[in-house]
A and B are shown apart, each in its own frame.
Chain A
Amino acid sequence: MTLSFNINILIFWILQLLLIPVMAPFVIGMTRKFKALFQNREGASIFQPYRDLWKLFHKDEVVSHDASWIFLVAPYIIFAVMIVIGAGIPLVSSAFPNILTSDFLLIIYLLALATFFLALAGIDTGAGFGGFGSSREMMVASLTEGGLILSLLSLALIAGTSNLFGISARIAALPFLHSTPLLLAFMSFIISLLAETKRFPFDNPATHLELTMIHEAMILEYSGKRLALIEWAAWGKYLIFIALGANLFFPMGISASLSLFSVIPALVIFILKVLAFCFGIAFIESTMAKYRIFRLPDLLFTSFIINIIAIALII
């Protein structure tokens, strides 16, 4: 019995470690496909992001004379953060309630760690674009943090724990979207998701126009394997946010144990939920114009206020 239990834990851990990086390009491919459908285009294959990564890993790199070791190391740190976060959030099972790195504050501040190095890398080459990208990135990131913390706090207050596995397990035991605060917190979470993953109306992930971009501006000078790592990590962050949204706000279908028979169907349900999120985000992106940069704070403060209402309804 102990042997099979250990094998299950091992499989679960490998799944936790690999799921985010393996699935992230697919999720981006699906989102792009959905967006193409909304625009009456056929769109690229959903496996195009994998091919992009393959191609980038086979290219040589050019690095600016002015760049320091920060520029060279940042992609590795950002990717490592993505892996560590992926191992600490509920993906297919809400068992393991005592993982010591899955506190929601810890996850949010780990994301900040990645943002910090990304912004530094943007400044490092001394190009104007990179610097402005970093400035905008830090502006959006610093204003998003409040809304994000409070929306996950609403969940933590309902669940009575700030551990993400614990939140997922407790919310799963409640009836489907049982309360208004949960819905409000989810609205605010979606705003944070769009801001943190640099999608419409905050940033246009498909552009290289200097006036509209944040994320692309910062990574403009990357090439080859480092560009691959940084893009991959950004896609991973997108999937992490979707996974948080899917498994914290709608945890139904998540496996309550680590046995293989419940994990495999849970994996299927998880992929379906992620696809639903991709569709929803593609829908938002296709029906909304990008905001002026100085209107973004309004949206972020709205997310903050919605949360305050949500928490007021809980306590």
Chain B
Amino acid sequence: MSAVYLQQLFPTILGLFTIGAIGSLIFRYDDEAAHAWSSIFSIVGSLSTLVFSLSLLMQGIGFSFAGYSTFPALTFSFTLDHLSVFFVFVISLIALAASVYGYGYAKQYIGKYNLGTLGFFYNSFILGMLLVVTSSNILFFLIAWEVMSVASYFLVIYERHEQANIKAGTLYFVMTHVGTAFITLAFLLMFKVTGSLDFGTIKLSLMTAPLWIQNMIFVLALIGFGTKAGIIPFHIWLPSAHPAAPSHVSALMSGVMIKTGIYMFIRIFFDLLGPAQVWWGVTILILGAISALLGVLYALSEHDLKRLLAYHSIENIGIIMLGLGSSLVFLSFGMKALALIGLIAALFHTMNHAVFKGLLFLGAGSVIHATHTRNIEKYGGLIRYMPQTAFLFLIGAMAISALPPLNGFASEWLTFQAMFSAVSSLGSTMGMIFVLAIGALAFTSGLAAACFVKAFGITFLARPRSDEAKHAHESSAPLLVGMYFLATLTLIFGVFAGKVTGILTVLAQALQNMGMSAETLNVLPSVSAVHLSNNFANMSLGLLFVGLVIALALIGIIVGLVTKNRKLRRDRTWDCGTELLPRMEITATGFSRSLIVIFKGLLRPTRQTHIEYHDAELRYFPKKSVVHLELKDIYLDNFYAPVQSFITRLSNQFKRIQSGNTNLYIVYMLITLIALLVILAH
């Protein structure tokens, strides 16, 4: 498709989502009609967004245009450069899968909740995200940011009959606006220095701004967008808000919404601000390492399936930030070729995480839809009742555990390689920081594998632990189609990692601070291999995949021929003469307990044991024993609670000047007026 044609397609796409949103609001009294309307428009909208962004990505072109407004400051200007198009592509991938899935999934709400409002907020949510990553004007960006945040708030509290969801929504609402406050401050600083609201103009003049302003903008943007991205310690809203939303919305929130924070990190640190400072990179690296390690540790102790996945989003945001941090550090030393590896790793992992986390949330949604509970301990044996969902969830679990040849491994490998290059080329002080970050990432991926053995094993394997699990059934076709789509992508992005990194190289080099560097990642014509420019490493997941398939086939054939006459009998094994009951299986708590005990210094678990005895005096024969293993939220206790009490105390101090006496208030105004006159006179 030609560029002109594509340029006209973009407003059409935005229009599709708008019509989808408004239409479902109009049909809100007829659930069926509203649902059909919203689904059709979100599916067609995301499909055309996908085609649109893919053809732009493949051709490597972008464009920008401005709309008109009577407000001079508020021009609806869009820029679709490489970075924006990439994020549009990622959003459209997950939006497509989630919309198809949502068509089947949201039917359960018919008669319970209003589907018209769901359709309205769902379409506006996608629209908001698309506007966030394409707008090139500060005010317009903030409006888009609010559309995205508010729409997602209403989606979080959509199942409003549950008190927990309202609470999660409120926390999300407060946190997202605290974040927005920091973002607004960062933008105001930009406006003050450059005198412009347009990102394009800001980009040209912000380079020369004084260092302290650059540093201020860095800190404010880090906190503001970090809150949306869910980095520790600004993450507290994430594990409660993401699970509360309907599952296809959770997939969008965890898969792509938090990535808008990453998008703005890249936009500001690599495209708008001046030359990177060393401490920016190191800060991001350390925050990333902490988020990755703590995120996975919290996930390990979590027994609510969707909360577990939400904590893994924090972990993966941490991994993305490890790539970004390495890249910034390299940039600050002027090593652009190596910075490229880190940035590509971050972008690649952004896309991969969106795909496999989307898949896992959709899978979790199917399980919850079938069993009506989010508690892992109540599942078990679901592989028999929902075989396809189990298979798809397994693919997602393998991808997030970074097991080759799936996509999660490809981007973690690149992240590792970026940090390896830092160790070998940056001298000992900086090198040691990177060694610790490498250690954090290594432990993280090991613990993630442990966590997903737990999540998959306890959910799908062994015997069902509850009646709900016994009566589970396979998901309907739209749900499965959405998941098959994403599962296929995890394999494609892994096996063709070479091709993907090739595209990402072009994209990353278009950023102002990266610039065109002579050295790049070389990509073999075989499209599957990844080579690093410094000749340190190369690998091909495509070759590995082929090798594994051939090896599996050969082993199957040879073993089959050798043991042709042997029989396989299904029977009871190792039952020690009693009936095997679900109670004899290992539980999720039991599975993760040893790791939690090892990390008890970090996690602070509280353990309560209640034992009921047959004879309370003798205490030899326990009748029943209950163990509660819980984690305290150390951030609430040690960070947010003190901040809250400080603000309360401060407010109480200010209460003193409010006597209720009008004369006194007039005195205040007079003093203010005089003070202002004195200041302005100078």
B213 within 8 A of A: no
Contacts of A129 in B (CB 8 A): 574
Q: How far is the CB of B312 from chain A (nearest CB, A)?
A: 14
Contact A119 B585 (CB under 8 A): no
- Kindly report which residue of chain B lies nearest to residue A223, judged by CB atoms: B573
Q: Which of B462, B540, B547, B552 contacts A123 (CB 8 A)?
A: B462
B538-582 Cβ-contact flags toward A at 8 Å (1 or 0): 111001100110011001100100110011111111100000101
Which one, A59, A163, A308, contacts B538 given CB within 8 A? A163
The answer, among B394, B424, B570, for a CB contact under 8 Å with A157, is B424
A135 within 8 Å of B (CB atoms)? yes
Q: Are B536 and A161 in contact, with the CB atoms below 8 A?
A: yes
B566 touches A224 (CB 8 A): yes
Stretch at the interface among B192-200, B431-439, B473-481, B503-511: B431-439
Of A1-9, A103-111, A236-244, A257-265, which stretch is located at the interface?
Answer: A103-111
Cβ-based interface call for A156 (8 A): yes
Residue on B with the closest CB to A129?
Answer: B574
Q: Are A225 and B457 in contact (CB under 8 A)?
A: no
B272 to chain A, nearest CB (A): 33
* Docked-complex contact A126 and B585, CB < 8 angstroms: yes
Question: B538, A103: Cβ atoms under 8 Å?
Answer: yes
Does the CB pair A308–B594 fall under 8 Å?
Answer: no
Name the CB-closest residue of A to B569. A62
> By the criterion CB–CB under 8 Å, are A162 and B594 in contact?
no
Q: Indicate whether A84 reaches chain B with its CB closer than 8 angstroms.
A: yes
Verify if B185 is at the interface (C-beta below 8 Å from A).
no
Asked if A19 is an interface residue, CB under 8 A from chain B, the answer is no
Task: Give the chain B neighbours of A125 by CB distance below 8 A.
Answer: 462, 573-574
4 A-B pairs with least C-beta separation: A131-B586, A142-B446, A126-B462, A100-B540
Per the bound structure, the CA–CA distance linking A179 and B3 in Å amounts to: 59
Q: Which segment, of B235-243, B399-407, B652-660, faces chain A? A: B399-407
Chain A CB within 8 A of B310 CB? no
Main secondary structure of the interface of B (DSSP, over half): helix
Complex interface residues of chain B between 430 and 460 (CB less than 8 A to chain A): 431-432, 435-436, 438-439, 442-443, 445-447, 449-450, 452-454, 456-458, 460
B566 touches A135 (CB 8 A): no
> Across the A-B interface, how many residue pairs have beta carbons closer than 8 Å?
264
A163: B residues at CB distance < 8 A: 537-538
A66 touches B594 (CB 8 A): no
Contacts of B597 in A (CB 8 A): 294
**Contacting pair B567 A61 (CB below 8 A):** yes
Query: B384 in the interface, Cβ–Cβ < 8 Å?
Result: yes
Give min CB distance, A130 to chain B, whole Å. 8
- Chain A residues 283-315 with CB under 8 Å of chain B are 293-294, 297, 304, 308, 311-312, 315
Chain A interfacial positions (CB closer than 8 Å to B) = 57-66, 68-70, 76-77, 79-81, 83-84, 87, 98, 100-101, 103, 105-106, 109-110, 112-113, 115-116, 119-120, 123-132, 134-136, 138-139, 141-146, 149-150, 153, 156-157, 160-163, 220-221, 224-225, 229, 293-294, 297, 304, 308, 311-312, 315
Contact pick for A162, options B420, B427, B438, B456, CB 8 Å? B420
Q: How far is the CA of A70 from the CA of B382 in the complex (A)?
A: 13
List chain B positions with a Cβ less than 8 A from chain A.
380-381, 383-384, 390, 394, 398, 401-404, 409, 413, 416-417, 420, 423-424, 427-428, 431-432, 435-436, 438-439, 442-443, 445-447, 449-450, 452-454, 456-458, 460-463, 529, 535-540, 543-544, 547-548, 551-552, 555-556, 559, 562-563, 566-574, 580, 582, 584-586, 590-595, 597-598
Residue of B nearest to A308 (CB): B435
Question: B391 — nearest CB in chain A belongs to which residue?
Answer: A69
CB-defined A-B contacts under 8 Å, sample of 12? A64-B572, A77-B552, A100-B540, A101-B543, A109-B403, A113-B398, A126-B461, A127-B580, A146-B443, A146-B446, A157-B423, A293-B594
Q: How far is the CA of A126 from the CA of B390 in the complex (A)?
A: 17
A100 touching B586, Cβ below 8 Å:
no
Distance between Cα atoms of A21 and B100 in the complex (Å): 47
Q: Which residues of B contact A98 (CB under 8 A)?
A: 538
Chain A CB within 10 Å, residue with most, of B380, B447, B454, B461 = B461
The residue of chain B having its C-beta at the shortest distance from the C-beta of A158 within the complex is B424
Are B586 and A134 in contact (CB-based, < 8 A)? yes
B555 with A80: CB separation less than 8 A:
yes
State how many angstroms separate the Cβ of A110 from the closest Cβ of chain B. 6
Chain B residue with Cβ nearest A156: B420
A256 to chain B, nearest CB (A): 19
